[in-house]
Structure 1
Amino acid sequence: MKLSETEKDLYRIAREKMVETQIKARGIKDERVLEAMLKVPRHLFVDEALRDQAYGDFPLPIGEGQTISQPYIVAVMTEALELKGNERVLEVGTGSGYQTAILAELAFWVYTIEKYSTLLEKAKKILLNLGYKNISFKLGDGSLGWKEVAPFDAIIVTAAAPQIPPPLIEQLIEGGRIVIPVGDVYSQVLIKGIKKGGKLYTETLEPVRFVKLVGAYGFKE
């Protein structure tokens, strides 16, 4: 469905309000992250019936029991990756494709893995229609990473794991960053890790609640 100019303006205004009140106001300072979130049309990544809620301060369902994350959490996780523009980034959990688009605005190349083919195909179609050419897609178990194209400068995991999957640590370059929610099914904390001397040094960012990462190094089905 093509949007009218009036609708485009309304969504642009909603995006500006989202960035000002939900993201800047909560301390996100990275100008590149703010610009990407002003640019990417979040409403295109949710079902038409939910588009009027696309810029709200909450996650939304996208099918297969998955969600599009709250805008603020997308901003927190993206800022923590410290992207400058020349990085190869692995995204575990393509989901709606919204986070993928934000990463594609900020990095050299994005490698994204999704467990559900329905979500992957839908996200891929939206991202290609928006003109992104720096994204590679894979259907599979994201907890295993993507060994064939590793190593990565940064890794973002958009589902909760009981621990940081060892293959992801292995596939991170020296000095690389990983951001992942870790905990049980009901509550987690957002962890940022930096690889130094082959080891991962972590810090806790904030409490979060994500859907489960299902896989060999995630939760069981």
Structure 2
Amino acid sequence: MTQMETKPKSRFSRVMMAALAGSVALGGMGATLAYAGNHDASAKVQALSTAKVTLADAIRTAEAAGQGIVTGAEFDATKDGTYFDVTTQNGTTEIDHRIDPMTGAILASTPNVEKDDGDSNADEAQELAAIQGAKVSLLQAISTAEGQGAKVMGIEYETEDGTLGIELQTADTSGAVSESMVNAATGAAIQGDQDSADDKGDEAGEQQEADEGNEAGEQQEAGEENEG
């Protein structure tokens, strides 16, 4: 976990913003973002639909392991297979649990070493205390979202402008994937994307600059070949 401030990218946003950068350059795709390559949204949604264990079940399994409070969970599909990745936090110890979507068994529990070097024990304790005091649990947020017809593919506590929220990654009935956030104290929706329009524009601009650089390089190489 990080300090009690807005995180520049959540683990969901890191993947989805990569797709967004390309979509903005091509005219935009709105709020619903599709994964690319191994993270193709439709394939991931389809894989989740065949699972015998739900995301909520995976969270309960991780909680029962007694290694801290669950701070986030998501369904993942990779070339190595499908699994639920559930993170628990106990003091300053963060553990990622890989859970089988067919049997519900914990396949592995690994300490998460990808922690910000600047985090102090006090910051960790402060954020964990906020999560423990949240009025809305991850399971409640899942129940509410799925009661409205969405399929929750991922969920995590996230701090937005100093307010603890719950970020959800959901698929609608058509399989389109999107992100939303609710207040962890009230359950009310927090409006707006967690990544500002400036951030999205910056990423799209970087992608465009990279494309232009590649094109210029290709033209230069072609010119040199012609001269030769």
TM-score exceeds 0.5: no
The normalised TM-score by structure 1 is 0.28
The normalised TM-score by structure 2 is 0.28
**Structure ID, larger Rg:** 2
Structure with bigger RCO (C-alpha 8 Å, 6+ apart) = 2
